Amino acid sequence: MWPSLSSLHFASPAPRPLTARSQYEGGTGAPPPADGCSALPGYQLGSVRVSPGLALAPMAGLTDLTFRRVVRRCGHRGLVVSEILSSEGLIRGRLDPAEYLRIAPDEHPVALQLSGADPERMAEAARWCEGEGADVVDINMGCPASKVTKGLCGAALLRDPALAARVAGAVVRAVSLPVTVKMRLGWSESEVTFLEVARALEAEGVAGLALHARTRRQGYSGEADWDRVAQLKAEVSVPVVGNGDIRDPAQALSLWRRTGCDGLMVGRAAVKNPWIFRQIEELASTGSYGQPSFEERARLILGHFGELLALGPPGLALHRMKSFLGKYTAGMAGAAALRGALGSTREPGALLEALGKWVRESGAAPS
């Protein structure tokens, strides 16, 4: 039996709610936005308003319900997107809809992301998403993994604009929700097809596009080419969301202003810093932003693990938590020792013990 979350106490001071701006410490001292813009405008996806225009990127193994709620608790008010869900996996029963399509009441607006290359199967899976209460259905046209592309799914659809359009059209007609597509630039530098695919998708009634500005061949190497985001924005009239390599709030705002895109999507940086969306908003409206305290970070970690334990089997909760801990605790006092201790942990109770010890011993220590 592992200790309950309430039995773990914080060194100092007593836990406080996360919502008050006054809990943030420090700030960047960055000047207010030069264009006088007081906040990030939002964008419209059919009947769904995304405001501010910020989105948590879909990330397999990471953006499940528990992490989507983590970013909400850290003040994210825009869109959250689920991890990739194979339409075939859902329909054939390999993915349990009760687990993978589950949406919490406090995480709206939420998009569920589907992958697939069969228009009818995609349409059927999209209807399931609608039935589970999704606000948006997103279609994956960017996944580079060969297990996905070999079935003509993910980024492989960028090589066949006509099939991409048929898939999107079938999904658009199947649901009354807005349908979006997340795409890359193309298969490779010699096959850059995003503008052609985007025009075809827009003609099929897709409500918005997110562009991870790399090719499939690039994987995650090199740098995202945000000039291509500006190109896409000039090409289509639906909202365009830029994605790729956003690291911090100042850089995010500069990319947003430079490209004129409608929204920004953040992936990896949000796992290290789930407060980033709120910080981007703060920077846009006040010219500075705060940092979460040790206590806030510790509460976030314990809360996330508690929710994983409450919702899924303990082994899976442990596995998922381990993939977050290195990023959550980077740079924090005692984090290296904590990560070392966790490497061989096989029991959720031992992980919780180690976390509790770390909070008690490191809470008052400078990071």
Ligand X SMILES: Cc1cc2nc3c(=O)[nH]c(=O)nc-3n(C[C@H](O)[C@H](O)[C@H](O)COP(=O)(O)O)c2cc1C
Query: Which one of residues 57, 197, 209, 253 is an interface residue with ligand X (CB under 6 A)?
Result: 57
Q: How far is the CB of 246 from ligand X (least distance, A)?
A: 5
**Which amino acid, 180?**
T
Decide if 215 contacts 186 (C-beta within 8 A): yes
Around 8, how many Cα atoms within 13 Å sit in the side-chain half-sphere? 26
Could you tell me where the beta strands, DSSP code E, fall in 5-152?
43-45, 48-50, 54-56, 79-86, 110-115, 136-141
Asked if 64 interacts with ligand X (CB under 6 A), we say no
Q: Which is nearer to ligand X, 60 or 316 (CB)?
A: 60
Asked if 52 interacts with ligand X (CB under 6 A), we say no
Around 120, how many Cα atoms within 13 Å sit in the side-chain half-sphere? 0
Residues 6 or more apart whose CB falls under 8 angstroms from that of 13 comprise 295
Q: Which is nearer to ligand X, 140 or 193 (CB)?
A: 140
Residues 6 or more apart whose CB falls under 8 angstroms from that of 145 comprise 154
Decide if 32 contacts 287 (C-beta within 8 A): yes
Query: Which one of residues 48, 52, 76, 83 is an interface residue with ligand X (CB under 6 A)?
Result: 83
Q: Which is nearer to ligand X, 89 or 356 (CB)?
A: 89
Q: Which is nearer to ligand X, 140 or 231 (CB)?
A: 140
Asked if 249 interacts with ligand X (CB under 6 A), we say no
Please choose, from the candidates 287, 299, 364, the residue with its C-alpha nearest in 3D space to the C-alpha of residue 333: 364
**Which range of residues in 163-171, 238-246, 307-315, 339-347 is near ligand X by CB under 6 A?**
238-246
Residue 258 CA, chain-centre distance (Å), reads 22
Using CB under 6 A, count the residues that bind ligand X: 21
Query: Which one of residues 66, 86, 87, 140 is an interface residue with ligand X (CB under 6 A)?
Result: 140
Secondary structure of residue 2 in the 3-state scheme: coil
Q: How far is the CB of 214 from ligand X (least distance, A)?
A: 8
Binding residues for ligand X restricted to 170-189, rule: CB under 6 A = 182
Secondary structure of residue 195 in the 3-state scheme: helix
Looking at 129, 143, 153, 261, which residue is catalytic? 143
Asked if 149 interacts with ligand X (CB under 6 A), we say no
Closest CB to ligand X: residue number: 267
Query: Which one of residues 8, 54, 59, 123 is an interface residue with ligand X (CB under 6 A)?
Result: 59
Asked if 157 interacts with ligand X (CB under 6 A), we say no
- Do the strands 208-212 and 240-243 form a parallel or antiparallel pair, or are they unpaired? parallel
Decide if 58 contacts 265 (C-beta within 8 A): no
Query: Which one of residues 215, 243, 279, 329 is an interface residue with ligand X (CB under 6 A)?
Result: 243
**Is 143 considered catalytic here?**
yes
Q: How far is the CB of 146 from ligand X (least distance, A)?
A: 14
Binding residues for ligand X restricted to 86-125, rule: CB under 6 A = 113
Query: Which one of residues 89, 244, 290, 292 is an interface residue with ligand X (CB under 6 A)?
Result: 244
d(CA 199, CA 189) in angstroms, rounded, equals 19
d(CA 102, CA 188) in angstroms, rounded, equals 35
Secondary structure of residue 202 in the 3-state scheme: helix
Q: Which is nearer to ligand X, 265 or 298 (CB)?
A: 265
Q: Which residues pair with 113 in a beta bridge?
A: 84, 138
Asked if 212 interacts with ligand X (CB under 6 A), we say yes
One character per residue 266-285, x = contact with ligand X (rule: CB under 6 A): xxxx----------------
Q: How far is the CB of 137 from ligand X (least distance, A)?
A: 13
Cβ–Cβ contacts within 10 Å for residue 366, how many?
6
Q: How far is the CB of 59 from ligand X (least distance, A)?
A: 4
Please choose, from the candidates 62, 218, 227, the residue with its C-alpha nearest in 3D space to the C-alpha of residue 155: 218
Kindly list the catalytic residues.
143
Q: Which residues are near ligand X by CB under 6 A?
A: 57-60, 62, 83-84, 113, 140, 142-143, 182, 212, 243-246, 266-269
